[in-house]
Amino acid sequence: MAGDTPILREYRAVKAEHPDAIVLARLGDFYEMFGRDAEVASPILGVALTGRSFGAAGRVPMCGVPFHAATHHVRRLLGAGMRVVMWDQVGDADGGKLVRRDVTRVLSAGTAVDAELLADDAVLRCVAVVAGQGRAGVAALDASIGDLELMELAGGIDSSVLGEELLRLDAAELVVPESGAVSDSVLAGVPRAVLPDSLFDVTRADQRLLTFSGVANTHALGLDDVPLARSAAGAVLAYCERAHIVITPELLRIRVRRPGSTMRLDGATRRNLELLSPLGEGTSLHSTLDRTRTPMGSRLLRAWLQEPLIDATAIAHRAAGVQAVVRDQTARETLAAALRAVRDLERVVARCAQGSASPRDLAMVRDACAAVPHVREALANVVHAGAASDAVEQCVAPGAVIDRLAQMLVEDPPANSRDGGSIRDGADPELDTLLAAGAGARTYIAGLERSERERTGIRSLRVGYNRVFGYYIEVPNAQRGGVPDGYERKQTLVGAERYVTADLKEQESIVLHARERAVVREQELLREMASMVALHAAELERTARALSTLDALQSLAHVAADRGWVRPEVDDSEVIDIEAGRHPLVERALGPGRFVPNDCTLDAAERLVILTGPNMAGKSTYLRQVAIIVLLAQIGSFVPATRARIGVCDRIFTRIGAHDDLSGGMSTFMVEMAETALILRQATSRSLVILDEIGRGTSTYDGLSIAQSVVEHIHDSPNLGCRTLFATHFHELTTLAASLPRVRNARVEVVEEGGAVTFLHRIMPGGADRSYGIHVAKLAGVPASVLVRARGLLADLEQSRPLAGRTDGGAGQLWLDIAPPADHPVVSELAELDIDQLSPIAALNKLAELRERAAT
């Protein structure tokens, strides 16, 4: 490598340490990328690929971005799934020596905690997973708040529990051991970092846990029974260290999660119930419920939706908090107003601990602390309010921090500390002295114009400042004759000359020097304040969590109050009893007064409802509505109904609609059966099962047989018998109610009048006998000729091949008001054509003629 420039040598060393990352090397005002990195990054960033000659190393491909736009470009690289190393200049460039450079950050999807890279609503979790002896250890670190969640799951690495946990955690990045074990299908598409197995070694992991948590021995951490999770935690902390993220003992919060402590939700159910994102256009359940006033409150609400509770007492505790705020409108409004000032306290405190807080961040801590008394006051009259009361208790702001920040910071400090201006006048004598020195000189300079005009008699003399030359005295060419001795020429313009004097230079140096030192002093003061916040991080983070809880509670209360929801009675029964329930999303989409409420009763005696009814009647809506109401009840929310009693469900399963998973290599029917299989294998007698048209994706007889046997299995199997709603177009299934005691039929009512069908969207007892599919086809604009043919075929089929179990023998065909296509003259002419009398040529001519006329 002789002939390499020193910088290239250093660069190669960094690259060798981070072979899987794009290295951004700070060279002056640019971040440059070299070699393969440049080739990969330039198309992603849309910047030109150039090259540069490095002595004997030859020409190296290269591209660069201006340093002030780095954030934007880093975000793009991360977005493309890249890992990014910031190789920055540290120390000064003077002395003609090589500037010292160090890796200051390693950024990846799960570690980009920087304020500019992290969206308010984004969850940033790096999740380490390790397997052993049929179990999986999981450690999820949210480095933006210092939260580390540990758990151990039975069932190993490919189990559905693990998959569900990773979904719940919103893993942004997976950290896995080199030796594999975690198959690529686990969270496919989420970037993964592969670390040496040694980092997962439990002894080393324990050591790291102790260092990070500042605790003397592992027993004190209470993690003795989760060794695999400890291994994972060691690895994720090591990864974080490598990324240059600081997690102090005050910031780190370690929690162990016991499996089965909350409701499990599989991916399909999350999607079907539109928890976080809508299936079509519309809105998600989260955005419908989100009336939070802080980003952290919104994230907590999201977490609540992802893990409904299964303990009736815990649910009641939360619901009591919502209820207290629903009842007291004044409390609700003042609380909401007070929370506005709180902002993203949990992340801001973490940035203080991580040494990346801006002056504005410190002001946010100050304002949030100042809001605490207002929050407490808003809820002063709210007592015995479960989760709300607990949270109010926990809301405390350390007096020392409040006083210091209030005393030091200006009202509205700048976003960075580069130019000063964050500290109040009179707050720090040293700073004041520096500023005063600068001010004296500035006053001198300000007066200079007048005094020099008087001294020289040059009326148009001017004193000015520019970045390159600093302060100068400008004299127009016409007056140049009057320039006194001691003026030193600095710059020549078209119509004027610029000068400096020894005096001016001295004063200028005082101004600039004072400013520089003042900025340094300010930064010192800001750092002190940030460390003070960092020392109180644990307390402040607890307050932040309490404030988030209050925010999420008031959000649910706001929605409940605005939309007339009620507090459900939640108990350990096996009942679901909903009076006048509504689907919150469909109701909102339809607008006020348009949604038809429906009841739902499932209990020990009748726990399996077979719902039939025409297409478009509202079967799917009803099924989802019941599931959503149960879910809302179990997160402690009020529900859209006039009354509801919900016996806690351990899981909600949904099998809804047909969708393809082509990228996963499954056909529509295969997906349907896989989801059904999962339900039959995993549901318990305490689950709620929503089955929407299973068996639809195959031939009628196949489908019907599968559907019927699924119903029988759920009904008869001793450990199933779960509460089930089954919507189907197989009307034959309604006969099952006669033979299976816990099955009940329900149908969605429609009114037929003169061939027109009106959908009432009302659920009634009993079964329906037809689907009106052809009617819906008509509504959808299928051509009349097709409809007429379909109606004919339907009549034939129902006469000749009644499906087994039919009770009405196919009688009573619905007469649909579908007109056959009007006779076209071409049609009658065609009918009369005597083909035998036509030669082939004549036939072709006739055909061409008819086609022409048909087109007019």
Question: Strand 652-655 and strand 688-692: pairing?
Answer: parallel
Question: Is the CB of 233 or the CB of 727 nearer to Mg ion?
Answer: 727
Q: Which stretch binds Mg ion (CB under 5 A): 11-19, 59-67, 342-350, 616-624?
A: 616-624
Pick the closer one to ligand ATP by CB: 594 or 713: 594
3-state secondary structure 743-777: EEEEEEEEEEECCEEEEEEEEEECCCCCCCHHHHH
Tell me the C-alpha distance between 7 and 27, whole Å: 10
Residue type, 577: D
Strand 643-647 with 569-571, pairing = parallel
Distance in Å, CB of 63 to ligand ATP, minimum: 51
Closest distance to ligand ATP from the beta carbon of 653 (Å): 18
**What b/e string do you get for 38-60 counting C-beta neighbours within 10 Å, with b at 16 or more?**
bebbbeebebeeeeeebeebeee
Beta-bridge partner residues of 137: 130, 152
Q: Which does 708 bind (CB under 5 to 8 A by kind): Mg ion, ligand ATP, none?
A: none
- Report the site for Mg ion in 160-189 (rule: CB under 5 A): none
Q: By C-alpha distance, which of 193, 186, 142 is closest to 166?
A: 186
Residue nearest Mg ion by beta-carbon distance? 620
Stretch of 17-25, 126-134, 335-343, 617-625 lying at the interface with Mg ion (CB under 5 A): 617-625
Q: Give the nearest distance from C-beta 749 to ligand ATP in angstroms.
A: 11
Minimum CB–partner distance for residue 699 and Mg ion (Å): 20
DSSP letter at 693 equals S
DSSP string, 722-745: -EEEEE-S-GGGGGHHHH-TTEEE
Contact region for Mg ion (CB under 5 A) — 123-131, 187-195, 473-481, 613-621?
Answer: 613-621
Instruction: Find the shortest distance in angstroms from Cβ 759 to ligand ATP.
Output: 7
Minimum CB separation of residue 812 from ligand ATP in Å reads 20
CB of 154 to Mg ion, least distance (A): 36
CB of 630 to ligand ATP, least distance (A): 17
* 691, 655 contact by CB (below 8 A): yes
612 binds, among ligand ATP, Mg ion, none (CB under 5 to 8 A by kind): none
Q: How far is the CB of 779 from ligand ATP (least distance, A)?
A: 11
Sign of the C-alpha dihedral computed for residues 407, 412, 414 and 420 taken in this order:
negative
The CB-of-128 to Mg ion minimum distance in angstroms stands at 41
Q: Binding of Mg ion at residue 612 (CB under 5 A)? A: no
Binding partner of residue 366 among Mg ion, ligand ATP, none, CB cut-off 5 to 8 Å per kind = none
Q: How many residues bind Mg ion (CB under 5 A)?
A: 1
79 burial type by CB count under 10 A (0-12 exposed, 13-18 middle, 19+ buried) = exposed
- Read off the tokens for 532: 């003070």
SS3 call for 855? helix
Q: Please provide the DSSP assignment of 115-128 as one string.
A: TTTS-TT---EEEE
**What's the closest the beta carbon of residue 623 comes to Mg ion, in angstroms?**
8
Cβ proximity to ligand ATP, 199 vs 623, nearer residue: 623
**Closest approach of Mg ion to the CB of residue 752, in Å:** 20
Closer of 33 and 725 to ligand ATP (Cβ): 725
Sign of CA dihedral 268, 272, 278, 280: positive
Question: What does residue 215 show for φ and ψ, rounded to 5 degrees?
Answer: -100, 150
Tell which positions 775-794 bind Mg ion, by CB under 5 A.
none
Whichever of 586 and 608 has its CB closer to ligand ATP, that residue is 586
Measured CA to CA, the distance from residue 515 to residue 532 in angstroms comes to 26
Which CB atom, from 545 or from 778, has the smaller least distance to ligand ATP? 778
Residue 617 binds which one of ligand ATP, Mg ion, none, with CB within 5 to 8 A depending on kind? ligand ATP
Task: Name the residue nearer to Mg ion (CB basis): 422 or 745.
Answer: 745
Residue nearest to ligand ATP (CB): 618
- In this structure, which amino acid lies at residue 24? L
Whose Cβ is closer to Mg ion: residue 780's or residue 835's? Answer: 780
The residue whose two tokens read 């009349």 is 784
Cβ closest to ligand ATP, residue 423 vs residue 585: 585
Q: Using CB distances below 5 to 8 A depending on partner kind, what does residue 221 bind out of Mg ion, ligand ATP, none?
A: none
Q: For the chain, how far is it from start to end, CA to CA, in angstroms? A: 81
| Nearer Cβ to Mg ion (77/711) | 711
CA-to-CA separations, 49 to 22, 37, 82, 568, in angstroms, rounded: 15, 11, 18, 62
**Rounded to the nearest whole angstrom, what is the least distance from the CB of residue 595 to ligand ATP in the complex?**
4
Q: Which does 586 bind (CB under 5 to 8 A by kind): ligand ATP, Mg ion, none?
A: ligand ATP
Draw the binding track, 566-605, toward Mg ion (x: CB under 5 A; -: no contact).
----------------------------------------
Partner that binds at residue 596, options Mg ion, ligand ATP, none, CB closer than 5 to 8 Å by kind: ligand ATP
> Among 377, 240, 384, which residue's Cα sits nearest to residue 323?
384
Q: Which of 634, 647, 650, 652 is nearest to 577 (CA)?
A: 647
Q: According to CB under 5 A, which residues from 620 to 649 bind Mg ion?
A: 620
Separation of alpha carbons 477 and 473, rounded Å: 13
Indicate the residue among 780 and 841 with the shorter CB distance to ligand ATP.
780
CA distance 737 to 721: 15
Candidates 692, 624, 686; CA nearest to 651 is 686
| Least CB distance to ligand ATP at residue 839 (A) | 52
Q: What's the Rg (C-alpha) of the chain?
A: 36
If contact means CB under 5 to 8 A according to the sort of partner, which of ligand ATP, Mg ion, none does residue 363 touch?
Answer: none
- Phi and psi at residue 833, in whole multiples of 5°? -65, 130
| DSSP letter assigned to residue 633 | H
Stretch that binds Mg ion, among 72-80, 538-546, 614-622, 627-635 (CB under 5 A): 614-622
Residue 621 interacts with which of Mg ion, ligand ATP, none, CB < 5 to 8 Å by class: ligand ATP
The interface partner of residue 595, options being ligand ATP, Mg ion, none and the CB cut-off 5 to 8 Å by kind, is ligand ATP
User: What is the number of other CB atoms lying within 10 angstroms of the CB of residue 651?
Assistant: 21
C-alpha closest to that of 744 among 626, 605, 616, 598? 605
Question: Nearer Cβ to ligand ATP, position 410 or 658?
Answer: 658
Tokens of 340: 């506005």
Candidates 45-53, 183-191, 612-620, 640-648 — which segment interacts with Mg ion by CB under 5 A? 612-620
Measured in whole angstroms, the distance separating CA 476 from the mean position of its chain's CA atoms is 62
Residue 446: count of CB within 10 angstroms of its CB:
10
Within 10 Å of residue 845's Cβ, how many Cβ atoms?
Answer: 12
Minimum CB separation of residue 117 from Mg ion in Å reads: 42
340 contacts which partner out of ligand ATP, Mg ion, none, CB within 5 to 8 A by kind? none
**Do 835 and 847 form a contact (C-beta atoms < 8 A)?**
no
Nearer to ligand ATP, 333 or 752 (CB): 752
As measured in angstroms, the least distance from the Cβ of 624 to ligand ATP is: 8
Element of type H or E holding 359 = helix 359-378
Residues in the chain: 856
Three-class SS of residue 32? strand
The listed partner (Mg ion, ligand ATP, none) that binds 168, CB under 5 to 8 Å by sort, is none
| Cβ closest to Mg ion, residue 213 vs residue 771 | 771
Residues that bind ligand ATP (CB under 6 A): 586, 590, 594-596, 598, 613, 615-621, 761
Structure tokens at 258: 């016991």
Nearer to Mg ion, 148 or 616 (CB): 616
> Which residue's CB is nearer to ligand ATP, number 814 or number 826?
814
Minimum CB separation of residue 656 from ligand ATP in Å reads: 9
Nearest residue (CB) to Mg ion, 498 versus 731: 731
Q: Which residues bind Mg ion (CB under 5 A)?
A: 620
